[in-house]
Structures are given as structure tokens and as C-alpha cells.
Amino acid sequence: MKDKIIAFWKKRKNLLFLIGVVVVLALFMNYFYFHIIKTYEDGPKRLVNTLVPNAAGNELENGEVIAQTFSKVNDFDGFHLKMTANGTKQDKVEIKLLEDNTDKVIQKWGYDFTQIAENKMYDFQLKDGIRNKRKTGYRIELNVIQKESASKFCLFSTGMNTYKDYEAGKMLINGKAQKQDVVFDVYQYQQDVYGFLKNIYIFLFVFCLALTAGVLYFGFYKKCKIEQIFIPVVIVWGIIYMIILPPFSSPDEPVHFGTAYKISNDILGKKALSENNVVLMRKDDATVPLDPIPTAKIYEYTIHSFFNGVKDTTPTEWKHGNLYSKNVITHLPAAIGISIARVLGLGSVPLIYMGRLMNLLFYVTLVYFAIKFVPFGKMVFFVLSMTPMMLELIGSYSYDAVINALAFLSIALLLQCIYGEEKIGIKRIAELVVLASLLGPSKIVYSFIFVLCIFIPKEKFKDKRMYYGTIAAVFAAVILSNIYVNMGAMTQVSGVENGAVATRNVVQQYSLKWCLQNPFHALKIYMHTTRVFGLYYFQSMFGSLLGWLELPVSHLAIYAFALLIGASFFFEHDNKEKIFISHRIVTIGILLAVYALVLFSMLSGCTPFGTDTILGVQGRYFLAVMPLFLIVLTNEKIKIKKIFQKYFLLFFHIGNIYVIFNMFATIVSR
């Protein structure tokens, strides 16, 4: 009997493993629905909501009072406030809800600072809900009672330059009206108000189970090549992230949409800009009611509007900004998607998703060829594409999707030229020149990738003239394309006339001239920035904060992703070309140069002069050059057998299931 069981296991272990994983995931997703998602189907419905990306912190000191008034809300059951504190149990904050006109206290709450150490929206539910048909205004009031001088309390506000403000109320500090509002919402419980969430859950459930079965079948049973599995897996995961993160909920997505729409106008022969130099759109598209912060309400609007056709095509100015980039390629895939939707007469929501889908397909196509051509390290390109951050980017309008795809393909072709066995002909030279001319101006800092051309063996060319001609052509493509597209930006950051650059907001910023004149001060700023933000760069590179940096992902999941990405650099391969120490040293130099220039771009672009840390840098800016670590880390002593690649793929798949279900729970709770 024992021998039969062992024989059966050896023969059917892959099938049994497939069934076991699918069953466990099905149980997990069902538990998730009944214990989390279902609880949100019956409200709370947000009657007022001022949650915005990158909310501004307002630090209150002992005795200070901050208030927010609101009106035009007759029936409600409570409110949320976004706040955080760092202090002791002796430090207190008192919260009151009052009638604004009479100062009558409706209810009080009290917290000590240790109870609000986490940065989030805190719930203040009323014992008896307000059921008031009179047009009464209300006021939320906070009073800080601070015992320790080192303690801090922070209440968040919408800031000065946000997409929306709450017009039926105002924020006051010590009785003085402010130009922004408190980040708050007012809610009311309503039965089955979000019943549509079940439809989204069913979609996730079916897609995740079907994709799991596909990953297990083709990865474990059929043992397909990694590039063959790449296309369906990343496309499906890109679509899932595209749905969980609704339109405009990715960083700077509204301005990328505006730029793609401008290019679409050019493609279709329409007037691109108004007299005010603002992108023109169909009125339906320009006035689509979508916010950067995803909520259950936005899910509802997206679902109900998805199959609507266009109603008003009157040219209207886009309410958000646009990039006005001369480099059309970074937004061309999305612009093609928008153009197709406009020709077909699709409504605003399907139009937005069509542009996102084309961005996704462009990325998948280029990275598929990168995985196919690279002589070793195929799994590195795959797992980097499966990180939460990359899946968010490629499922949005972000031009990072196009830039990262170009960078990955460039690195793959360079590795193939340097370490592959094939001779290099005119076709491969032309591909390198085209990629250099496209990637260089997309982001100047990534131009350093093409320094690797100097390591291509001379014997792979027909003659020395072709070898030196190739290097010259690639470098010329990088330099000339950068001059054509980015000359204005390079002149600005160089600060040729002043030590600091004056931006459109008349805020002085650092320049190249200042850094050259003050090298030790500049180095000190770099070191301090790395010490303060280094861990944040590492975590955010893989997706610790998604959306507008307001959707946290478990650090445990991020570190697990990072650990396996690191391990993927050590998979065994059949390549016989030796990686010389000079190759490793120069590659490290390229990586350091990219790091330094990324920081400098933000030092000169958005860091006020006099600040001791560089502002605005995010970990996602370093994803494009991550495959270069293949040259640095690949060796003959540390190797992981190829048989484990399928387990890496399965882990990233399951890890993303965990991430998107938790993101979904966070969004539907708003």
C-alpha cells in the first residue's frame, strides 16, 4: 500500500500540487470576502470626503485648537479624521462635534498620543446618528493637551494646490480661517449601498484562480519557457492592477493622460491646445468625475459608466496639467489607445482604459523580446515585471511603463551582444541605435546604460571599422537625441547665470553650477539624503506605497519580493562568456552615476535652495537599471538550479494575490 501511494505521488505530484494550491487560494479568497469585503456592502456611504494625495501635515502645539466646519449634510452617523502623533499617554487630544451656530456639544472623544501613532484615518462614530432635517452647520474641533515638549501631534489638510476643496465649510486654526480644509469625511450607514463590490470580487476570484491554474499547469506540468509564460501572466496581472487601481489613482496619472490626449489630437488631426495653451478634450473626457484617491464610490462610477457612449464632444480644456513633452514615444502607446477609442465613439471611462491597455501591451511586447534575447538572467526581467510597483506602472498612463520597457530591452540586447554567441550584423546595430535614440531623451540619466557598448568584443563584428562605427553611432544617437529633446531642461538645471535655478513658482533651487562651486556641501546633502531616505527608496522601488503613496503594502511582502528578486540574479545559465572584473567595475560606476543623477534631477528640479535633503525622489526611478546587477552579481560559485524558477513565479503570483486583495479592502473601506 505504501509503495502504491509513493508511486502515485511521484506520477501525479504536479497535478496534486496544482489542485492543492488552487483549493487553498479559493478558501483564502472566500474567507477574505465574507470577513472583509461583505462588511462594506452595507455602507458607510461618504457624504463628504476631502481625502487627497500627498496631504499636508499641520503640527499642533499645546493649547492650539484646529477646527473644520461643514454643512449641507442633514443625516450622518460619524466622521473620519486623518492624523498621527508621537508622544506619551500623558499627551492628549480632545475631539468634539458641535453645532456650529450654537456651539452645542453633540459628542466628545479623547485619545492619548500612543493611540494615534499610526498615520491613517481614525473613526469617530456617533452614539446616536444625526437625523436632522433642519439646515444646521456642524464643526469638528480638536484641542491638543501636550505634556512632553518633544511630543508631536499632526492633523492633515488638503494643502494649497489640490484637485478639490470642500466649499461648504472651512478649516480654522485658533479661530483663523485657512485656505485649505482638514482631510476628513462624513458618512452615513446605508443598506446595500455598495452591493456592486460583489461583482468586482467575483472578477478577482475567477481571474486569480484561472491564472493560478494556468501558472501551475504551464510552469509545473508543461514546463514552458519563461518567455512563453511571461505574456499571459503579466497581461492578466496588469489588467487586475488596472481595475483595482481605478483611473488617475497612480502617481501623476492625470498629467500623463493630458499629454497622451494632446498627442492623440495630433494623430487625429484635431486642435491640440486651446488659446490658453491647455490640452483640449471632448467635454465628457475633460469633466470625468474621477479623483486621484481611489474609493468605493469611484469603483461604483467606473462600473456604471464603463459601457456608456460619448455624449458631448465639445472641445473643452483639461482641468489638470500636462507635461508638454517633446519626446512623443513615451506617451505614444497610450495616445494610440485614446485615438482608437475616439474613432470608435467610446465613452470616457472605456477611453481611459483603452489608453492604459495599450501602455500595458507595449511594455509586455518589449520585455518579452528582452527575455527572449538576453543570454542569461531571464528570470530577473520576469520577476521585476511582477513586483507591485511595476504592475501599477504598466497598468496606468505613467511613461515609466514605456521607459522601463525600453531600458529592459536595451540592457538585454547589450548583454546579448557582449556575452552571447551570435555575430553582430547591421540589424542588431540598427536596433541598438534606435533604442539609444528613444531611451536617452526619455530620461537622460538612463543614457549611461549604453556605455556598455565598449565591452562588445571586436571579433563579433565584420571588421574594426564596423566595431568603432557602432560605438560612435550609438553614442551619437544618445547625444543628438538628448540635445534635440532636452536642451531646454539641461540649460535650466545647469544654472549658467545663477548659482540657483528659479522655477515657474519663483522658488530658488540648486543648480549644477552651485554643486561644482560647493562640492563638499553637495556631497553632504547626498550623504544625508541617502541616510534618511535610503530604506524608503529600497522599499518603494518594489511597491511599499502604491497609488499616490497612500496605499501601503505590507513590509513583510515587500521584503519577501526583494529577497527573491535578489536570488533571481543567481540562477544557473548556459552562457560560457566570462564576465571580467573590468565589466563589473564599470557597471557599478554606471549604477552609481544613475543614482547620483536621479538625485540631482530632483535636487535641481524640486528641492528648495537651502534644504539639506533632496526631495521628490522615489524608488521606482531605479527600476529601469536593476537588470544591470546581472553583470555585477553573476558568478560561477553561487548558483540556483533552474528547476526552482517555477516556484519563484508561483510565489510572485500568490504574493500579488495577497497585495491586491488587501489593497481592495483598503479602498472599499473609504
Grade residue 7 by pLDDT with cuts at 50, 70 and 90: low
Q: For 48, phi and psi rounded to 5 degrees?
A: -135, 135
Answer yes or no: are the C-beta atoms of 331 and 399 closer than 8 Å.
Answer: yes
- Looking at the chain, the whole-number percentage of residues with pLDDT higher than 70 is 89
Answer yes or no: are the C-beta atoms of 109 and 127 closer than 8 Å.
Answer: no
Region 56-83: what's the mean pLDDT? 88
Mean pLDDT over each residue of the chain, to the nearest integer? 85
- pLDDT of 494 reads 44
- pLDDT of 620 reads 93
- pLDDT of 438 reads 92
Amino acid in the structure at residue 486: N
- pLDDT of 501 reads 45
Region 422-427: what's the mean pLDDT? 88
Lowest mean pLDDT among 41-50, 238-247, 324-333: 41-50
- pLDDT of 493 reads 45
Lowest mean pLDDT among 180-194, 254-268, 597-611: 180-194
Answer yes or no: are the C-beta atoms of 437 and 484 closer than 8 Å.
Answer: no
- Pairing assessment for the beta strands 138-145 and 65-70 based on DSSP bridges: antiparallel
Grade residue 423 by pLDDT with cuts at 50, 70 and 90: confident
Grade residue 437 by pLDDT with cuts at 50, 70 and 90: very high
The H or E element spanning position 250 is none
Region 250-269: what's the mean pLDDT? 92
Grade residue 4 by pLDDT with cuts at 50, 70 and 90: low
- pLDDT of 60 reads 81
Higher local confidence (pLDDT), 315 or 203: 315
Q: How far apart are CA 437 and CA 443, in angstroms?
A: 11
Lowest mean pLDDT among 29-38, 336-345, 523-532, 556-565: 29-38
Question: What is the three-class DSSP state of 632?
Answer: helix
- pLDDT of 482 reads 83
Grade residue 506 by pLDDT with cuts at 50, 70 and 90: very low
CA-only gyration radius of the chain, Å:
27
Amino acid in the structure at residue 386: M
Higher local confidence (pLDDT), 665 or 41: 665
Residue 37 DSSP code? I
- pLDDT of 497 reads 42
Region 620-626: what's the mean pLDDT? 94
- pLDDT of 584 reads 93
Lowest mean pLDDT among 105-109, 147-151, 345-349, 656-660: 147-151
- pLDDT of 121 reads 86
Judging by beta carbons within 10 Å of its beta carbon (0-12, 13-18, 19+), is residue 261 exposed, middle or buried?
buried
- pLDDT of 505 reads 44
Exposure letters 404-422 (e unless 16+ CB within 10 A, then b): bbbbbbbbbbbbbbbbbee
- In this predicted structure, the answer to whether residue 557 has a pLDDT above a threshold of 50 is yes
**Domain-wise residue ranges, the chain:** 45-188, 495-639
- pLDDT of 202 reads 80
- Looking at the chain, the whole-number percentage of residues with pLDDT higher than 90 is 42
- C-alpha to C-alpha distances, 201 to 114, 167, 274, 362, nearest whole angstrom: 35, 35, 42, 28
Q: What CATH number should be reported for the domain whose range is 45-188? A: 2.60.120
Angle (deg, nearest 10), helices 581-606 and 464-494: 20
131, β-bridge pairs: 75
Q: How far apart are CA 53 and CA 298, in angstroms?
A: 15
Grade residue 37 by pLDDT with cuts at 50, 70 and 90: low
Region 263-282: what's the mean pLDDT? 90
- In this predicted structure, the answer to whether residue 495 has a pLDDT above a threshold of 80 is no
